[in-house]
Structure 1
Amino acid sequence: MNPLSILLLGFAMSTDAFAAAIGKGAAMTRPRLGQALRAGLIFGVIEAITPVLGWLLGKSASRYIETWDHWVAFGLLLALGLHMIWNALKPATDETVDDAKKHGFVPLAITGFSTSIDALAVGVGLAFVDIPIAVVAVVIGLCTFSMVTLGIMLGRVLGAIVGRRAEVIGGIILIGVGAAILYEHLSA
């Protein structure tokens, strides 16, 4: 994977966290920069750890499927991209939770983990191709930190309008990265 693909992957992995951050920001009375940075840090750290965990799981299985690993990476990224698009297009559910409970560490960590499940699966897929997982994890973490911080601050202004579209774009990018991996291996 080239640096542009890694950067695009980082931003694709951060779009669901960005969408969640917009929702969190829209629910906050007036989000301050400190609150946005805290949420960005929580999401970014979690999002950086999960692809490494997935990569470790994938590496343990890679010797069994080495001949068709690029197809596995493509299939996982395609499935995740389609899943993100599907989630963005389905009707949103409306939850009413006590405001003090919505913005604490535990709810943010749970939301951060739930938006990073796709990064875990991407880590599994990346274990089958020659990729510096530490670089990818740092890029994903930094992109998520930036996007969540921005999402919290923009939440009151943008609300649900951009959040859904961001996930669609992220899904399309994931599918594109998967197609690029498949193309690189088939044309080599």
Structure 2
Amino acid sequence: MLETSAGLGQLIAILIMAAALGMDAFSLGIGIGMKGIRLLHVLKISALIGIFHILMPLLGMYAGQYMSSLLGQVADYVAGGLLILLGVHMVFGSFKSGEDRVIDHRSLLGMLLFALSVSVDSFSVGLSLGMFQSNLVFTVLAFGIIGGAMSVMGLLLGRRASRNLGDYGEALGGVILLAFGLAFIF
């Protein structure tokens, strides 16, 4: 029974982290959506974000597993520290002007750069998770599906919402990652 509750706890933690990482795509998607976006572009951008939210944590997890074998017990503190730094970065980044961060979404290069920019955080989280034992397939699929879904929601909401909601969404995602980082350390 204890093993089942621990597994359920890990499942919930991964889903919450996936949602926190998706906040970046959601909040920046609102900014792009406010500039005007066609539904076809919503699908293309969201699919790319989903793919990058799978690839980046996957790469991070493999690197994290390697680092864990090198660092041993210190790995928990390194992983927690990375999540704390990432969370703080997301919180402070939410206060930046949205115009400075939104790139042209109409070109293939623009879509790729946007998807990469909102997925880089997933690499860091994957690096942290790679230092622990987690279900690899479930984790990367959860990150990809939730990241893609949140970008769809952000892009569509951006077509009819105010810009301030996006800033709060990114800040909330940063606070969640910061809390998980502290939980890993303590």
46-55 vs 155-164, greater mean Cα deviation: 155-164
- Give the residue type in structure 1 aligned to 2:85: A
Same amino acid, percent of matched pairs: 26
Task: Report the equivalent of 1:186.
Answer: none
State the Cα distance separating 1:162 from its structure 2 match.
0.9
Say whether the 8 Å CA contact 2:65–2:132 is kept in structure 1.
no
Give the CA deviation at 1:149: 0.7
TM-score scaled to structure 2, two decimals? Answer: 0.87
Q: What is the rounded CA distance, in whole Å, between the counterparts of 1:95 and 1:147 in structure 2?
A: 18
What runs of 5+ residues in structure 1 fail to find an aligned partner? 184-188
Q: Distance in 2 between matches of 1:170 and 1:3?
A: 18
Number of residue pairs aligned between Structure 1 and Structure 2? 178
Q: RMSD across aligned C-alpha pairs, in angstroms?
A: 1.9
Q: Do residues 120 (structure 1) and 126 (structure 2) align?
A: no
Counterpart mapping for 1:92-131 below 5 A: 92-94=98-100, 102-131=105-134
The reply on whether 1:69 has 2:72 as its aligned counterpart is no
- Using the size of structure 1 for normalisation, the TM-score is 0.86
Mapped contact 2:105–2:114 kept (Cα < 8 A): no
Q: Which runs of 5+ in 2 are unaligned?
A: 1-8
Q: Which amino acid aligns with 1:178?
A: G
1:110-129 deviations in whole A, cap 9, x for unaligned? 11101111111111111111
Q: Corresponding residue for 2:136?
A: 133
Aligned mates of 1:71, 1:27 — CA distance in 2: 41
Q: How far apart, in 2, do the equivalents of 1:6 and 1:16 lie?
A: 16
Matched, 1:174 2:177: yes
Shift of 1:79: 0.3
